[in-house]
Amino acid sequence: MSKLWGGRFTKQTDELVEEYTASISFDKKLAAFDIEGSKAHVRMLGNQGIIPTEEAREIGEGLDKILSRIERGEVEYSVADEDIHMNIEHMLIDEIGPVGGKLHTGRSRNDQVATDMHLYLREKTKKLIELVETVQQAIVGQAGSNVETMIPGYTHLQRAQPISFAHHILAYFWMFERDKERLQDSLKRVNWSPLGAAALAGTTYPINRRETAEALGFEKVYPNSLDAVSDRDFILEFLSDASILIMHISRLSEELVMWSSEEFRFVELDDAFCTGSSIMPQKKNPDVPELLRGKTGRIYGNLMGLLTLLKGLPLAYNKDMQEDKEGMFDTVETLEGALSLLAPMLETMEVNKHRTDSSVKSDYSNATDMADYLAVKGLPFREAHEIIGKIVLYAIQEEKYLLDLKLEEFKEFSELIDEDIFEKLAPDQVIAARKSEGGTGFDQVREQLKAAEEHLSF
């Protein structure tokens, strides 16, 4: 088959080279965006009188036909046409004849492919923002039914202070809120139009870049044609945002895996989100959160891959840049899959309230409050800390929890301790007392929940 760029060549392309350099096997995902960009470009060519309007219309209609054929799955792409751009151009010429060859006037594949990726990433980023919000919805749902569910709060994975389960899970709400903000912010830069930069230096045709930018919904045009075709920051930014997002998903998943274990049994994931073992009949494995945690590796890998790919590239376009796509597609699809599963899994998860409530009663996590109790009575906090440390040690030796000690035992350590200590040390009191802004006090958590709900748009 003759090449669209065949004029300068005297030999056929080596078959292996053709296979090796082609990107059609993956960049076919850009087809609809490529056609959208081409239609804006050709309309502008007509409006500017660069080609007759009638021909611009004919080309536009030809592109529409090709798009419907692609959507119906009727086209066969050819490796000889290398990439999605030349495949579509070839189809166009086959469809409407030599006039189709006018589409590429004043344009290069370099600004074309950059335009396609901006369009692709804009659509996918918006969809991902919505998916993140479905996860936030599920979190708000669980938080709403678990404000008064008590759970141990940890530092160093050692019991620290009891907290509200809603407070714990809402921590993830705010992580996802920042993820949404970051993705939203990245759209500012995704919305720069590279179209019209041509190969690297602009073009001699009297094109109108503002017109194509506006037609494609971009907010500004790249002010420098070299930058326009060389810039992949917007993809790097997406991959960075994606890496932070999947890291949050992974931390949450790790907690779900842990909480599902016999050692914790704080939650029970719905059967529909777990799998069994081929040998051990008793097993119910939390495969989904494990896999979500595992997916982090490929997304970080995609970020590192693109950073490394770009670091030594001279301006402007280099073929290396064709390698920018698979990691981007893979990241988008990995996140779509992860978020679509995470939301219903969180929604259907059962919190084992009996277990979480009883666990906060069987530890020393009320020790801080006991120290505060003495401090409120006038003892310097440092001294109070020392005394309570001794009481905890004594209790451990006696194989008791703090609430199991008798008032006389307490008094051995400090005369300041009275009967009211027992009420103050109950886990629900310990939690309720943390009324500081953003704290785990039940009333504070209710406030937080309200604030979270205000961030949901549907």
Are 79 and 24 spatial neighbours (Cβ–Cβ below 8 Å)?
yes
- The smaller minimum CB distance to ligand ARG, of residues 23 and 149, is found at 23
Name the minimum Å distance from CB 355 to ligand ARG. 54
Residue type, 154: Y
* Residue of 56, 169, 321, 417 that binds ligand ARG (CB under 6 A): 321
* Residue of 31, 35, 45, 113 that binds ligand ARG (CB under 6 A): 113
Site for ligand ARG in 123-182 (CB under 6 A): none
* 107 touching ligand ARG, by CB under 6 A: no
Binding mask 16-45 toward ligand ARG (x if CB under 6 A, else -) reads -------x---x------------------
* 88 touching ligand ARG, by CB under 6 A: no
| The one segment of 270-278, 317-325, 363-371, 399-407 that binds ligand ARG by CB under 6 A | 317-325
* Residue of 39, 107, 109, 168 that binds ligand ARG (CB under 6 A): 109
Q: Confirm whether 385 is a catalytic residue.
A: no
- CA torsion sign for 228, 232, 233, 238 is positive
* Residue of 110, 134, 356, 444 that binds ligand ARG (CB under 6 A): 110
* 317 touching ligand ARG, by CB under 6 A: yes
Q: Confirm whether 156 is a catalytic residue.
A: yes
152: enclosing H helix or E strand: strand 150-155
Site for ligand ARG in 67-86 (CB under 6 A): 83
* Number of residues counted as binding ligand ARG (CB under 6 A): 10
Cα-Cα-Cα-Cα torsion 190, 191, 195, 198, nearest 10 degrees, comes to -50
Name the minimum Å distance from CB 19 to ligand ARG. 14
d(CA 101, CA 97): 8
Q: Other C-beta atoms within 10 Å of 156: how many?
A: 6
Dihedral-angle region of residue 15 (phi above 0 means left; psi in -120 to 50 means alpha; beta otherwise): alpha
Are 351 and 147 spatial neighbours (Cβ–Cβ below 8 Å)?
no
* 310 touching ligand ARG, by CB under 6 A: no
Name the minimum Å distance from CB 289 to ligand ARG. 35
- The smaller minimum CB distance to ligand ARG, of residues 269 and 321, is found at 321
Contacts of 266 (CB under 8 A, 6+ apart): 151, 259, 351, 352, 355, 356, 359
Are 366 and 427 spatial neighbours (Cβ–Cβ below 8 Å)?
yes
Give Cα 243 distance to the centre of its chain.
Answer: 7
Contacts of 387 (CB under 8 A, 6+ apart): 371, 374, 379, 413, 414
Name the minimum Å distance from CB 331 to ligand ARG. 17
H-type alpha helices, 147-220: 165-190, 209-215
d(CA 69, CA 32): 11
Q: Please report where in the chains the tokens 């959160």 appear, as a residue.
A: 289
Identified catalytic residue from 145, 277, 340, 362: 277
* 322 touching ligand ARG, by CB under 6 A: yes
| The one segment of 107-115, 247-255, 401-409, 425-433 that binds ligand ARG by CB under 6 A | 107-115
Name the minimum Å distance from CB 3 to ligand ARG. 12
Cα-Cα-Cα-Cα torsion 397, 403, 408, 410, nearest 10 degrees, comes to 70
Name the minimum Å distance from CB 199 to ligand ARG. 7
Identified catalytic residue from 68, 156, 436, 457: 156
Which residues sit at the interface with ligand ARG, rule CB under 6 A?
A: 23, 27, 83, 109-110, 113, 317, 319, 321-322
Active centre residues (catalytic)? 156, 277
